[in-house]
Amino acid sequence: MASYSLLSHSLTFILLLFFLPLFFTSFASQCKNPPIIFNFGDSNSDTGGLAAGLGFPINLPNGRLFFHRSTGRLSDGRLLIDFLCQSLNASFLSPYLDSLGGSKFSNGANFAVVGSSTLPKFVPFSLNIQIMQFLHFKARVLELVNAGLGNIINNEGFRNALYMIDIGQNDLADSFSKNLSYVQVIKRIPSIIQEIENAVKTLYDQGGRKFWIHNTGPFGCLPQKLALVQKMDLDQHGCISSYNSAANLFNEELHRSCQRIRPQLTGAAIVYVDMYSIKYDLIANSSKYGFSSPLMACCGYGGRPYNYNIKVTCGQPGYQVCDEGSRFLSWDGIHYTEAANEIMASKVLSTAYSSPPTLFDFFCHN
């Protein structure tokens, strides 16, 4: 296994290392009664669902930093959702599919699985399937509670729970990978939005009232896409313009959808979070945050400029990985490093990127 490291560190990097521990903890919550959380999504928030559900091996160096072992997360450490849970003094979410994980799911469950989309496709865990899994989970849990066989989550717990949705990127990215034209990809957006609306309305009909919805990130900046696409229309920061344009159109429609259904769902709190702006800012201003080579994967194969090869991905024989402590945004060409996720979490918690502006600990039962 080869290894490479950054040869020089700027003053910005040194200062960031000093202040970074304060960067996240400054937003730490005094949440004494963390909410129950149910999460639906793709690999951006999968805490081990793919490994548990399909037995897909996710090897070290995934998980090398915080967990010091592979947990099924596609990162060197914690994901954004892990930092958000920590901000509420809540336990990390266990994958719904992990029956051997030892969790009693008293703090909720994570239905997100790598590769998932809103529209059904070859991966068997599209958003509507995740919602069906939740309905089965809820029915079974309440059956046990009513029979006096368990003290897991009661009806009130499901009503007061926080329902998080972070999905849509794969619908757009996969459409481009199938050589659909930009116009054809854009035409699919209303169907994607409708699936998300259907999910929210189903959860609302089940008593859910608190929703936290992330938009999709600038997937045109992912090293994987940059390495695989032959003809590229690049923007000033080296990202694929058409891909990011599609992401922005999707996000505009998702924002409008949230605004549209709020009046329809009486008593519901629906918060839309602009993850695109957070992630693109990290790339466009990477040096400000102490990162070098923002379009290069820490773990992969091929070296510069992207260190991504679809035949030798992170954790597979022959991969290369940056030294621990190196400052990279991208972990494996698709997903982010723990360092990047920590900064993203601090920005999410700042309320500057949520609509309406909402403190995350608003969902605590204080």
How far is residue 138's CA from residue 129's CA, in Å, rounded to a whole number?
A: 14
Q: What distances in angstroms separate CA 254 from CA 167, 222, 293, 297, one per listed residue?
A: 11, 22, 31, 29
Cβ 219 vs Cβ 169: under 8 Å? yes
Q: CA angle, corner 302, sides to 115 and 4, nearest 5?
A: 105
- Report CA 85 to chain centroid distance, whole Å: 13
Distance CA 315, CA 296 (A): 16
Given the DSSP bridges, would you call strands 299-300 and 320-322 parallel, antiparallel or unpaired? antiparallel
Q: What is the DSSP letter of 336?
A: B
Catalytic residues: 43, 332, 335
Query: How many CA atoms lie less than 13 Å away from 85 in the CB half-sphere?
Result: 22
Name the residue with tokens 């400000």: 288
Q: Which residues does residue 108 pair with via DSSP β-bridges, in sequence order?
A: 37
Cα 125 to its chain centre, rounded Å, is 15
Do residues 318 and 301 touch, judged by C-beta distance below 8 A? yes
- Residue 310 CA to residue 248 CA, distance in Å, equals 26
Distance (Å, whole) CA 348 – CA 11: 26
Burial of 65 from C-beta contacts in 10 A (0-12 / 13-18 / 19+): middle
